[in-house]
Structure 1
C-alpha cells in the first residue's frame, strides 16, 4: 500500500487560549490566560504531541496570552522548538499574516502561527474556502483551537493557496 506523500507546506493556525478579561488600567496586550485557558493550552499541546504534529518554526504574537499559549507547546513538545515572537501578529490584519506566512524560508516546511481572532479565522476561511471552513468551524474559531492545513504549493508573495484541513484540535471537543 503506498504511503501518502508529505505536503509541500503545512500550516498550523493556533488561536490563543481563553484569556481573562482586561483588568482596570490593564492594556489588552497584557491580558493573560485564565485558568481555563492555561488548561486548554496544555490539552491542545498534548493532543498535538500525541499525533506527532510538530512545526519547524513557531511565529507567535508578542501579546501575553499568545506567549502563554505557545509556552504550553514548548513544555510539551520540546524546549528546543524554534519560536519567534512577532509584534505585527498582535494588531496586524489578514494581509500582515499572509505576508509573514508567505515570506518564510523555503527550508520551513511546517509553520505554526499563534495569533488572534478574527484574523486566524479569516486566514482559515481563505485557505480552505468559505464552505470548507464553515463545515470545519460552524460556530467560529474557538480559543485554544488548532487547525492543521496541508498545501500542494507553497505560499508566496502574500498569497496563500487553497489547502486541505488535515486535523482540527479543539480543547473542548478534542480532535477530528
Structure 2
C-alpha cells in the first residue's frame, strides 16, 4: 500500500503581466493559504518519504511557506515535467519514485492534479470526496489517496481511494472563494 498526497500551489499573483507564467510568485492570500496547509499537515502529523514538485516559482514559494508552518524541510525533487503536466505525465513521474517511499507528496498545478485524482480514483460511487474535487480543487488544496499498489512502477488508473480533501477555506473561512477566483 502506498499513499499519495497532492498539493496544488497556492494563489499566485497576476499583477506583473511582464512575468512569464512560470515566474509568477504567490500573492498575500497565497502565502497565508500555503502556511495554513503546512500547519494542518503538522497538526495531522503527516510524514512524507518523498516530495516531487514543479520548479515553477509559485510552487517553490508554496513549499517554502508550507515548510515554515509544517516545521520540517521537505527536500523536494524538482521535476520540470510536473509544470502544467497532464495526468498521464504525472503518473509517469510517480512511476519513477523509489519504492522505499511509502508516502509521496506531489506539488504542482491544475488541471493536471485534478485530472490525476479523476484518473486514479474510480468513478463508481465508492468515494464521495471525488465530488468535492469535481466541484473545484482550489489553490493550496490537499488531496490524500491510498493506492492499492506495492510499487510506484505499478501505478495505474483506478488504483486509488480518495481518503481526504482539505481546502484552505476548510481551515480558515477568509481563504474561501473571492471575486478573483
TM-score range, shorter chain: 0.7 to 0.9
Q: Distance in 2 between matches of 1:66 and 1:80?
A: 15
Distance change (3 Å), C-alpha of 1:72 and 1:54: farther
Describe how 1:15-26 pairs up with structure 2 within 5 A: 15-21=8-14, 23-26=16-19
**TM-score for the superposition, normalised by structure 1:** 0.86
Match of 1:63 among 56, 68, 72: 56
**Structure 2 counterparts to residues 65-84 of structure 1, below 5 A:** 65-84=58-77
SS of 2:61's equivalent in the other structure is: helix
Runs of 4+ in 1 over 6 A off after TM superposition: none
Q: Which moved more, 1:60-69 or 1:121-130?
A: 121-130
Aligned positions, number = 168
Corresponding residue number in structure 1 for 2:85: 92
Q: Give the superposed CA RMSD.
A: 2.0
Q: Which runs of 5+ in 2 are unaligned?
A: 173-181
Q: How far off is 1:24 after superposition? A: 2.7
* Alignment partners' CA distance in 2, 1:141 and 1:69: 16
The residue aligned with 1:46 is: 39
SS of corresponding position for 1:137: helix
Match of 1:128 among 102, 105, 121: 121
